[in-house]
Structure 1
Amino acid sequence: MAPAFLGFSSLSPLSYKSFSSDLPGISASPSTIFGTQLKLVEIEQTHLSLPISFKSNSVLRLKASMEPPGLTQELTNSKQESIIGTRNGSDLFNEMKHRFLSFKRQKFLENLECYENLAKSQAPKFMVIACADSRVCPSYILGFQPGEAFVVRNVANLVPPFENGPTETNAALEFAVNSLEVENILVIGHSCCGGIRALMSMQDDVNSSSFIRSWVVVGKNARLSTKAVASNLSFDQQCRHCEKESINRSLMSLLTYPWIHERVTKGKLSIHGGYYNFVDCTFEKWTLDYEQSSLREESGKYSLKNREFWS
């Protein structure tokens, strides 16, 4: 249905009357409604993406006429910027609508039986912990289909240790491991990570109420390790090192959860790391070697196996 503010043709006679009553000197008769004075208002109104009453429009024009030219120009520019912003937002959702309908036609309806089964239950083999960065979409880059991966995303793809207490990340871990019984947990880091950059920029002696700082401090051991072994490198290179180091520290943090540790020792669950470089579109994958890794995350003693580089 076309929005009522796109033109007068979509307004009922009652609407004409209510709008015209707000304007002094304009009657509700048809000859006056389509007169010159109201046509001017109509022309201005068609440039708006949100409905504004004629009364407020007329008051705005009257006020602007009494102000100096500079203020009038400011009001005009502000109005235009608001129009552009609203129009762009509308276009974005229109595009989203078309994408959804395309998905429904080309995927949902063509694989209806599959989606009907997914509506009843899920049995993913993977749990994925990835960064919230808009450039890193696990399903898009790794081709996960609906029902194949239980995904949680947070800033810098960090896994807090068990003793840190509840977060949305370990709540998702508990559900994925204990209820869905996933067979693999994959922690995915990535290049140019803003969360890791914030972690590496953090000053130890500065108290801050920043939510970002309070979260990324989870990766403090990865930061300390990076500073210890890569202090001679540039800051950008240190961040790159920490992006990978934090993944492995998160793998060790996973083992601090009793129910994850139990399933790993029984061979029912494997823990993996991945690193997506979106600059050159490469992906590294590896698996934590539980038998050779220390249980104390602080020790930094971990061993990796099955390393692969996809390019």
Structure 2
Amino acid sequence: MHKQLSSLRKSLSSKLFLGSTYHILANKTICWFHRSEEITMAKSSELAIVELNNLLREKDGLNEIEAAKIEELIAELRPHPYQPAVQRIIDGFTHFKIHNFDKNPELYCKLANGQSPQYLVFACSDSRVSPSIILNFQPGEAFMVRNIANLVPPFNQIRYSEVGAIIEYAITALKVSNILVIGHSRCGGIKRLMSHPEDGSVPFDFIDDWMKIALPAKLKVLKEYEDYDFEEQCKFCEMESVNNSLANLRTYPYIESGINNKSIGLLMGGYYDFVSGEFKLWKYETHITKPVTIPSNH
């Protein structure tokens, strides 16, 4: 009986993946293994489970240890459902592969050889604000930066090196010609900035220090809109913070040089209101131009 179990296990191990490593494959499908192999594996599993169950029914020839090993092997062979979080990723890639990648071979072949995006886009990390969704950017169109409250710090080679590296690469290597900073409604970062206690307490390890980048926007709003309620002040600050980031962009030598030699065409501010479904867009020059509102029924 022991030899029979060992032989069966060895035979199965050559045909089945019994581990729990996830594999995302770029060709044909996304699953634990190739689709053609999956069918073979599934059939092998079913046959093996039937044979093992037959062995269990013949308990006269089994001791407790052997029976336990058979039950353990059956458990290994039974298909296990993916965890919901894993299944969501699998379904998402499958949808992308079928409806995007496979239908646009020329685009993805071109992108495989390099990128030349027209836009450098700063947006918030907020899960409700995806530039690729709200502005319908396609792969290769926009070089994206996402952080808390869509902030651009002023040029500083010691602090904020990640943002500096992104800007430098986008302008000097990718030759991006248009820059857009997008703010949005009900921003948690701006709300934190506007409600930050004046006693100097810092309950967060990183957030409060990061939000100090937008402090000039807060001070301006408190001065110019002091009679407005807190929610309205936050909305004004969400937009004014965009202007503050646009001004900070001009402290980067690559951007200032690009503006002067006209390799950079536009510095733009945007504001996405996901409550009303509207998007405001304005230019930053030596002054802020009047926003153009793109309504929800446009």
Q: Shorter-chain TM-score: which interval?
A: 0.7 to 0.9
Q: Which of 69, 81, 105 is the equivalent residue of 1:112? A: 105
The reply to whether residue 221 of structure 1 matches residue 216 of structure 2 is yes
Q: What residue is the counterpart of 1:201 in the other structure?
A: 195
Give 1:207 shift: 3.9
Q: What residue is the counterpart of 2:281 in the other structure?
A: 285
Is the Cα–Cα contact under 8 Å of residues 269 and 283 in structure 2 kept in the other structure? Answer: yes
Is the Cα–Cα contact under 8 Å of residues 4 and 10 in structure 1 kept in the other structure? Answer: no
Distance, in Å, in 1 between the alignment partners of 2:218 and 2:67 is: 75
Distance, in Å, in 2 between the alignment partners of 1:124 and 1:175 is: 12
TM-score by length of 1: 0.69
Q: CA offsets, 1:247-283, max 9 Å, x none?
A: 0011000011111111112222120000000001100
Given the superposition, is the C-alpha separation of residues 195 and 160 from structure 1 closer, same or farther in structure 2, using an over 3 Å criterion?
Answer: same
The reply to whether residue 152 of structure 1 matches residue 145 of structure 2 is yes
Q: What residue is the counterpart of 2:32 in the other structure?
A: none
Give 1:308 shift: 1.4
Distance, in Å, in 2 between the alignment partners of 1:265 and 1:152 is: 24
Distance, in Å, in 1 between the alignment partners of 2:239 and 2:49 is: 58
User: Is the partner of 1:245 in helix, strand or coil?
Assistant: helix
User: Is the partner of 1:181 in helix, strand or coil?
Assistant: coil
Q: What residue is the counterpart of 1:79 in the other structure?
A: none
Q: What residue is the counterpart of 2:177 in the other structure?
A: 183
> How many percent identity over aligned positions?
38
RMSD: 3.2
Given the superposition, is the C-alpha separation of residues 158 and 11 from structure 1 closer, same or farther in structure 2, using an over 3 Å criterion?
Answer: farther
Distance, in Å, in 1 between the alignment partners of 2:114 and 2:294 is: 33
Q: Which structure has more helix as a fraction of its residues? A: 1
Q: What residue is the counterpart of 1:134 in the other structure?
A: 127
The reply to whether residue 310 of structure 1 matches residue 298 of structure 2 is no
Given the superposition, is the C-alpha separation of residues 95 and 222 from structure 1 closer, same or farther in structure 2, using an over 3 Å criterion?
Answer: same
* Count of matched residue pairs: 242
Distance, in Å, in 1 between the alignment partners of 2:50 and 2:233 is: 63
Write out aligned runs for 1:49-128 (5 A): 90-128=83-121
Give 1:170 shift: 2.1
For structure 2, which runs of at least 5 residues remain unmatched after alignment? 1-15, 21-44, 57-62
Distance, in Å, in 2 between the alignment partners of 1:221 and 1:11 is: 72
User: Is the partner of 1:161 in helix, strand or coil?
Assistant: coil
Q: CA offsets, 1:131-175, max 9 Å, x none?
A: 000000000110000000000100000000013733322211111
Distance, in Å, in 2 between the alignment partners of 1:175 and 1:11 is: 60
